[in-house]
Amino acid sequence: MESLNKSSQSGIKGLFASFVGFLRKCIFHVLSVGPMPTHIAFIMDGNRRYARKKNLKEGAGHRVGFLAFLSTLKYGYELGVKYVTVYAFSIDNFKRRAKEVQYVMDLLDEKLEELLNQKSILDSYGVRIRFIGNLSLLNESTRVATEKAMAGTAKNDKAVLLICLAYSSTDEIVHAVQEACNEKWNKLQEMDSNERGNDSILATRAMTHKECAIKLADLERHMYLSGVPDPDILIRSSGESRLSNFLLWQTTYCHLYSPAALWPEISLWTLLWAILNFQQAEAYLEKKKKLA
Amino acid sequence: EDGEKSSCLDETQRTLEFLSISDGKEGTAKAASHLCTKYLEVSDEPTFTEESMGEALRAVGCGGPQPNLLLVYGPVRCHLGFPAWRMRYTVIV
């Protein structure tokens, strides 16, 4: 009798889950009639506040936040979003207490291992993982974990998950400027002995200034997110409306959305609402892009 | 940096600055060209920092204080290319 009750309960749960899944597909289908974003970026803010709000121990908010990250990722890829970028750890975050920084790094190592072992979301949606940022600032074990994750998903080609780690926009811009300048100097050195030997000093200086002119395309080529379309929507949870040095270069025509929910509280409805807002804004943003 | 601070804090002077889209990414490219030319004759290739980038932006006329608040008037909340270097922690409404 008891086993009959248990099996009927699990049957009802399964039926309910199937119905919810069917309803979700219907909603996604209706939403897809309008313009859909190709790239959504997330600032996953509010994990610590969530832990304090729920009286959890320090660091527990990040664990719950990871579950919210997985479900958001799944919904995004189900909706056909090809690129998802998340701000996992800023260069500024290294200033936090050493214990918290270490906790986040250990959590990242653990969750990357889990993601690669399960392979459920990554393989079913064909997701390739890329890490963006000044990865030389990471400790050895985290760097190894990131390399393993990138190598493990290198063959996936349907969608991309960009995880910004030890990242800031200003660092990205400086890196791009450095690379562009190094490129110019190397080219000038190659030309030096052959073409400039017989020129007058003035002609040499004039040529040098012209050759040192760095174009926008040179910087774009050396940005960490080079080759990735700019984000269509940037969602920052917990109601904050700053970009906090995240994707400042790439968000010229990006719809900025700041729901009040803390990151672990983020739900499917937040994502749907963000996309509806984007659909209303899309025509205006496309017009602005064409005028530029 | 000191020049920027004094213009921010000087209560007797108000500054009205007009920016356009060319002050954003193209301004950064100009600052990059400035750095490239400045260090051309140096034998060891320098490593740029955020400080040197900030100085280069000021040298090409694209420096300036970071607004605390960016008010966007229009149907969409989008910064439309406001200079990246100046809105790192700006609240965008």
Structural domains of chain A in order of their starting residue, each with its CATH number:
27-167+228-291 (3.40.1180.10), 169-223 (no CATH)
Q: Looking at this predicted complex, what is its ipTM?
A: 0.87
A30, two tokens: 């209706």
- B78 and A253: CB-CB below 8 Å? yes
- A255 and B76: CB-CB below 8 Å? yes
- pLDDT single digits (tens) B20-45: 999 999 999 999 999 998 887 776 77
Looking at CA atoms only, how far is residue B63 from chain A in angstroms?
Answer: 14
Looking at CA atoms only, how far is residue B47 from chain A in angstroms?
Answer: 7
Residue B7, pLDDT above cutoff 80: no
- Kindly list the domain boundaries of chain B, sorted by start residue: 21-92
Chain B stretch 40-79, residues whose beta carbon is closer than 8 A to a beta carbon of chain A: 40, 45, 47-50, 53, 74-79
Q: Which residues in A209-236 are b (16+ Cβ under 10 Å) and which e?
A: eebbebeeebbbebbbbeebebbbbbbb
Of A61-65, A102-106, A266-270, B85-89, minimum mean pLDDT range: A102-106
Interface test with A, best of B88, B89, B90, B91 (most A CBs within 10 A): B88
Residue A90, pLDDT above cutoff 90: yes
Which residues of A are designated catalytic? 45
Q: Which of B45, B77, B79 sits opposite A182 (nearest CB)?
A: B45
Q: Which of B24, B29, B45 sits opposite A215 (nearest CB)?
A: B29
